Homo-oligomer: A and B are copies of this chain.
Amino acid sequence: MKYLFTNIIGSFVLDGKLKIVDSTLFKNVEEHKNKEKSEKQLKQKHKAEQLPNEKLHQALLLFKDKQYHQEFYKKNLQLTKQSIKESVNEDNLIVQAISNINELDKINNILTKRLREWYSLYLPELSEEIQSHEKYVELVATKTKEELMKEIGTKETMGADLDKPYVDEMILLAKQIINNYQLRKEHEKYLELIMKRYCPNLLELAGITIGAKLMELGKSLKHLAMLPASTIQLLGAEKALFRHIKTGSRSPKHGIIINHSIVQKAKRNEKGKAARMLADKLSICAKLDYFKGEFKAKEYKKELEENFR
């Protein structure tokens, strides 16, 4: 009676007393992956059969020997490294990009506030007049004081008359902020590129930013697909949820999906309902995407939009 036993370093044929009588050693992790081939060869050559489970423990003792130790260590390390390498997927890429978008948003906010304060030494009336951060930065970067005063209709300014090098420094900052906005837009394009292939339903119904944020909050598409719709509805509202559980304050009705246009456009007393129905459909979209189902999101979107207009 002969037995066949395979581990990461090779395939082995053992006799009735569990001594090794023949073996094929694997050169690398690839060969281990195609172990069926070498197993078949050895089986035919020796008419061996698979080692029964009750003898497994005894067979493993064979490999306690020092001569195998280094080999085991090396191969295992290789295998682990390969698993890590293969574990990187779209989830990771999406999470990194959306996290950086969040950070860029915060950063642009900080830098624009700084620019407003700084440039207001020169032309305070502009900051008063232009509320939008992005527009403000654009104007500072591209127009002179005179042009700006004309633009906002001021004839006199409380701002100081500063020499060119002093003003240039502010313009440099404005240009850098514009680059940040640009990078944010690039990130959105990039997310769209990945999501179109990886989770087209979620992308279609949730949009780029909300879709990616849901992925970030759900950790991965797989996990998101497993979540109940009621959890998806509250993703991003964890703080309010725990406050509700702890202090009995009102329970939150929506997490980040509050920013979705369908919830935004819904009437005030229907927002909760809109959030619930949107979350239902989003949950289905995540499942469709994870299990490579059909593209249904367009229908869902239309249906919801007709319901809450």
Binding site for B on A (CB under 8 A): 81, 84-86, 88, 92-93, 96-97, 99-100, 103, 107, 110-111, 114, 117-118, 121, 124, 156-162, 165-166, 169, 172-173, 176, 179-180, 183, 186-187, 190, 193-194
Contact = CB atoms under 8 A, between A and B. Distances in A.
A193 B162 CA distance: 14
Contacts of A84: 124, 158
Contacts of A194: 166
Contact of A114 (B96, B121, B159, B169): B96
9 contacts: A85-B159, A85-B161, A86-B160, A88-B121, A93-B162, A96-B121, A100-B118, A166-B194, A169-B190
Contacts of A114: 96, 99-100, 103
Contact of A165 (B86, B88, B183, B190): B190
Nearest to A182: B176
B110 A92 contact: no
A85 B81 CA distance: 64
A162 B160 CA distance: 52
A158 B118 contact: no
Which among A107, A172, A194 has the highest number of chain B CB atoms within 10 Å? Answer: A107
A82 to B, nearest CB: 8
Contact of A156 (B81, B86, B187): B81
Contacts of A162: 88, 93
B88 A173 contact: no
Contacts of A183: 172-173, 176
A183 B169 CA distance: 9
Given A114-B103, A118-B100, A85 B169 contact: no
A103 to B, nearest CB: 6
A186 B114 CA distance: 16
B121 A110 contact: no
B121 A158 contact: no
A86 B92 CA distance: 54
Contacts of A100: 111, 114, 118, 173
